[in-house]
Structure 1
């Protein structure tokens, strides 16, 4: 692991890493590409694709190996759950704002992240991809909104191979140690989308550009062309959980 100020200081991440890193290593041989694109210090927003319930562990290990503490956006309601809420707060996880107060809460979260010099991982799709071939689907604007609110670097990320360990909504395959590729892309230039506040159309356009970047990176990993358009659950009769609308 690369030594950085963030991981060289004792923290709750040390005992967690002592357990999670070797455990994940039993399932995955992680190849990290584009390591130079993840800032060694300072705040950032990392936006990976999501195709397996197991991939948050792989993403966390990859980020930790590069010397940063992995912190995710988590549902605001989870912070009110006894014990779990305390653990989320202790590890610096960031609550996902409610839709009704999204803009102001994003600004507050971004300001706190910037002050602390932390990074945060945001699954822009909001849930596991519904694309039949596991390409990134249409994203939500949370990652872009957070990056713009705090003028934080927005780093697209693509990962592939985790679905061989735990298929989407499938069963864990063990013993099996699969090759997993994790690629960090260069930070996106969001200057053309910035505003005070950013317009909804600009947030959507920036999010589409981000998801296209992730898809292009994934295309390079898979050696296959990505679809020209992102899968949109609302156009296929699905709700946010991926279930068919009644």
Structure 2
């Protein structure tokens, strides 16, 4: 299948990364299967996460089809790109169509990317995981590959202005070993296993991250439990409820 949009988009992204002099530390890409379907599951802390998750799959020569909210596909700029790269639109009021689309992609040997937290975590900690990724992997008979990202929130995240002029920003990516989604197991149990593994990878990425806040005005991107000033999960829930 010709990739008239995806591969040029990758080339553009790599050019921008070089121009920004991003310090990308990606480990574990070999855990992404070189062929066949797989569900790639990642934490979500930035609007750019799908780009860096896709970057992790490049050494294995895989293109990831991400599930993303349907409104992104209606945008005059992002819409043509998302459709051209064959990503999967998700209408939260009609999730069955997106599920069927993703299932077909997996059965045809594609890698499908899912953010099981559904939205960006403003606390930069893991939110609860929805079970859709586990159910898809079970039904398609494919493995789940856990991924953790760190540093992407410093470029562009919810509640903060994007900063594409920030150069030399480290981005840490950790890809874990594939997890079998056995049909004999409860989808909720697989989801908990995947979340635990993503948490482990996230903590490893945070430990490996080479930069710490430079002063009181640079602590916003660190979670509260690590000494930063990002809102706690409890504060985020309270604000959402309000």
TM-score > 0.5, shorter chain as reference: yes
Q: Structure 1 residue 244 and structure 2 residue 240: aligned?
A: yes
1:53-89: CA deviations, max 9, x gaps?
A: 2332222233234411132102245556678655433
8 Å CA contact retained: 2:149, 2:171? yes
8 Å CA contact retained: 1:43, 1:116? yes
CA separation of 1:142 and 1:135: change in aligned 2, threshold 3 A = same
1:45 — aligned with what? 39
User: How many angstroms does 1:135 deviate by?
Assistant: 2.2
Out of 10, 19, 24, the residue aligned to residue 17 of structure 1 is: 10
Structure 2 Cα separation of the partners of residues 78 and 214 of structure 1? 26
Compute the RMSD of aligned alpha carbons.
3.1
Out of 182, 195, 198, the residue aligned to residue 214 of structure 1 is: 198
CA separation of 1:16 and 1:89: change in aligned 2, threshold 3 A = same
Calculate the TM-score normalised by the size of structure 1.
Answer: 0.74
Matches within 5 A, 1:27-46: 27-46=21-40
Calculate the TM-score normalised by the size of structure 2.
Answer: 0.75
Count of equivalent residues: 219
1:186 — aligned with what? 177
8 Å CA contact retained: 1:130, 1:137? no
Matches within 5 A, 1:1-246: 11-25=4-18, 26-76=20-70, 78-79=72-73, 87-96=81-90, 98=92, 102=96, 106=99, 108-131=100-123, 134-166=124-156, 168-171=158-161, 172=163, 174-191=165-182, 194=185, 202-223=186-207, 238=237, 243-246=239-242
Structure 2 Cα separation of the partners of residues 92 and 156 of structure 1? 22
User: How many angstroms does 1:157 deviate by?
Assistant: 0.3
